[in-house]
Structure 1
Amino acid sequence: MLNTSSPTISPFGYEIIRDYILSSILGKHEGDVLYWAGKDLARKFPCKSQDELIAFFADACWGNLELIKESKDGRIFQLTNDPELLQIGLRSFRLEAGFIAEQIQQAKGYLTECYDEKREKQQNVMFTVKWDVKERIMNTVPTE
């Protein structure tokens, strides 16, 4: 009998691709390529609000994203998940950083960058997002 339920990705399968195959293929360029891939992914899956951004992380099994702090030119997010799934010591989080940067850039309409900081003892990743209000991005319609 065929299993007609929706397919799921096992954490092990995801880990093999994300932590071993990609890093092997991309080598020393892994961080840069993943960041730009995250930005591209954000353009393909636009989030209309911060709540949608947070929901996307949950739906993609990237973890629980939470806004920690907001200022006039930036935000700080924290990513948590089951420590076994986060793989903080092994994993690059540049894909997620690029995704966040592009989502907020589209929402704000300003040049935006995102930096990730792995915090192994706390078992989380902090994302610091900064936008430059002097650098308006053409062809964007800010939603915030």
Structure 2
Amino acid sequence: MTSNENKTVPVFGYEIIRDYLLPIILGKHEKDVLYWAGKDLARKFPCTDIQLIASFFEDAGWGKLTLEKEEKDGCIFHLVNDVDLLKLAERSFRLEAGFIAQQLESNNGYLTECYEEKDEKHERVEFTVKWDSKEKK
């Protein structure tokens, strides 16, 4: 019996699914479906703090997530990964945004949303997270 811990998915195989098949299957609903799928993944793989969220990103092959700024009603993360600049421009990062939103909503107890913006100049994605401290979940 072999362990699954040491098995990896080739990057090419992952990119075929992520960058070509999902957009075809999901069509115009891709961004919405990926966001809600990210939220669902977060419920299945709860992370109790930001370090665990960052570790999940690396383990999932999504890249290196760092907390850049914390505010009273939100925070900003940066994501850097091995996706080349051309694919960065085309890829949707709504899956990751939904995952972050749900993790922080579960941790802080407030209605939370996350928006992504591609920063092609710095070859990264910026996630802006906002929560409403008046909206308890």
Q: Normalising by structure 2, what TM-score?
A: 0.93
Alignment-derived partner of residue 107 in structure 1:
107
Q: What is the SS of the residue equivalent to 1:46?
A: coil
Query: Given that residues 39 and 101 in structure 2 are in contact (C-alpha distance below 8 angstroms), is that contact kept between their aligned partners in structure 1?
Result: yes
Instruction: Give percent identity, aligned residues only.
Output: 63
The alignment of Structure 1 onto Structure 2 pairs a total of residues equal to 135
Query: Given that residues 85 and 123 in structure 2 are in contact (C-alpha distance below 8 angstroms), is that contact kept between their aligned partners in structure 1?
Result: no
Alignment-derived partner of residue 11 in structure 2:
11
> Larger Cα Rg: Structure 1 or Structure 2?
1
Q: What is the SS of the residue equivalent to 2:31?
A: helix
Which structure dedicates a bigger proportion of its chain to helix? Answer: 2
Unaligned stretches of 5+ residues in structure 2: none
CA drift of 1:85 comes to 8.9
Query: Given that residues 64 and 81 in structure 1 are in contact (C-alpha distance below 8 angstroms), is that contact kept between their aligned partners in structure 2?
Result: yes
Alignment-derived partner of residue 70 in structure 1:
70
Alignment-derived partner of residue 39 in structure 2:
39
Alignment of 1:45-56 (within 5 A): 45-56=45-56
Query: Given that residues 79 and 124 in structure 1 are in contact (C-alpha distance below 8 angstroms), is that contact kept between their aligned partners in structure 2?
Result: yes
Q: Normalising by structure 1, what TM-score?
A: 0.89
Alignment-derived partner of residue 98 in structure 2:
98
Query: Given that residues 48 and 107 in structure 2 are in contact (C-alpha distance below 8 angstroms), is that contact kept between their aligned partners in structure 1?
Result: yes
Unaligned stretches of 5+ residues in structure 1: 138-144
**Cα distance in structure 1, aligned partners of 2:43 and 2:72:** 24
Residues 1:25 and 2:38 are matched in the alignment? no
Q: What is the SS of the residue equivalent to 2:90?
A: coil
**Cα distance in structure 1, aligned partners of 2:13 and 2:116:** 24
**Cα distance in structure 2, aligned partners of 1:68 and 1:107:** 18
**Cα distance in structure 1, aligned partners of 2:120 and 2:54:** 22
Q: What is the SS of the residue equivalent to 1:88?
A: helix
CA drift of 1:126 comes to 0.1
- Cα 1:61/1:129, change in 2 over 3 Å: same
**Cα distance in structure 2, aligned partners of 1:73 and 1:85:** 31
**Cα distance in structure 2, aligned partners of 1:24 and 1:33:** 13
**Cα distance in structure 1, aligned partners of 2:86 and 2:96:** 12
